[in-house]
Amino acid sequence: MLSISSQVFQLTLKHAFTTSRYTVNVQDTLIVSITNGELTGYGEATVNPYYNSTVQKLEHSIQSVNEIVSRADGDHPSELWRRLAPILKDDYFALCAIDCAYWDLYAKTNKRFLRSYWTDSSATPLSNYTIGIDSIDSMKRKILETPWPVYKIKLGTSNDVKIISELRKITDSVFRIDANCAWTVQETLANAIELKDLGVEFIEQPLKAKDWEGMKVLKERCVLPLIADESCQRFADVEPCATVFHGINIKLMKCGGLTPALTMIDKARQLDIKVMAGCMTESTIGISSLVQIAPLLDFIDADGAMLLKEDIAEGSTLIDGNILFSSENGSGAEFKIDLKLN
């Protein structure tokens, strides 16, 4: 029999993190633990108002499937996911935490690296480092504090092009832009022309998530590649996104964990679009799960734990954009502090 439990942590950020939607200073996160009495697997889900993820909802969801998880010992993770998905259809964040925790335990039990179940490669794309919306001086200071080969710059202000123009003066690194649904079609078309000249690689989610007609226009006319984020949450979104975006950004919490992420990657490859995966300001628990799919990707945003003032775990890390995998089995993440089972 397995035992599942959860614990909530408050992760203080190094700097206030602002997007076009809101500002976060302290990130609430829930860590799921699944143990067989000897080994423990870990997964993570953060609180996120845009996706209606709250501590109370996450805890209730975890408790609701306690009995099902307890009987899963030895089952393949995809089998457990299929049993849980109908029950947690309204809380994929909780489903993600369970799926990642069970994959971690499954790999540890079999004395394997988690990523070995789908790849024998350790070659990965460079991870970007994210700069949230702030004053231009503060954004410059953050870049100078953390020299990095690729930056994701959050935008959605009245002077977005000026921000990038000013940041370009202090670094030659690649820029990726994330507007988090804040732009219009015309803003995107006009901004993209100038941003391309400023060394921007692509634009992530310029329009509102359901603005498919607007995205059709952008796919035809925009001078920069377009990556779906909010528009691509689950497997069913991959095919429609492929018609109006050049690629998708998979978030484990949006899609429900590693199990569905793998199917989304396969589908994207069939449709010949680019594949990115990203984080949601997790600790190293969540990041260590995320980077397990990195060898399958074109781009990755795995800097969540780097944005924290103090992490709660150790595991996979980033050095100058390069992913350094843990040498431990499973995802390789372990707590710096004791996690008491509830």
- Say what the pLDDT of residue 22 is: 83
Whether 341 has a pLDDT exceeding 50, the answer reads: no
Give the Å distances, CA to CA, from 183 to 23, 157, 164, 200: 18, 9, 15, 16
User: Residue 298 — φ and ψ, nearest 5°?
Assistant: -90, -35
Residues 63-105 pLDDT 10s = 999 999 999 999 999 999 999 999 999 999 999 999 999 999 9
Instruction: Identify how many contiguous H helices and E strands the chain contains and give both numbers.
Output: 12, 15
At residue 310 the predicted structure's pLDDT band, cuts being 50, 70 and 90, is: very high
Residue identified by tokens 């959605």 is: 156
In angstroms, how far apart are the furthest CA atoms of the chain? 59
- Say what the pLDDT of residue 73 is: 95
Q: Enumerate domains of the chain plus CATH numbers.
A: 3-112 (3.30.390.10), 117-335 (3.20.20.120)
How far apart are the C-alpha atoms of 326 and 277, rounded to whole Å? 19
- By 3-state DSSP, what share of the chain in percent is helix, strand and coil, each rounded to 5? 40, 25, 35
- Say what the pLDDT of residue 106 is: 98
How far apart are the C-alpha atoms of 142 and 173, rounded to whole Å? 14
Whether 342 has a pLDDT exceeding 50, the answer reads: no
Mean pLDDT of the chain: 97
Q: What element of type H or E holds 226?
A: strand 226-228
- Say what the pLDDT of residue 338 is: 58
Whether 339 has a pLDDT exceeding 80, the answer reads: no
Cβ–Cβ < 8 Å for 230, 207: no
Q: What is the pTM for the complete model shown?
A: 0.96
Give the Å distances, CA to CA, from 319 to 64, 197, 287: 39, 28, 14
At residue 336 the predicted structure's pLDDT band, cuts being 50, 70 and 90, is: confident
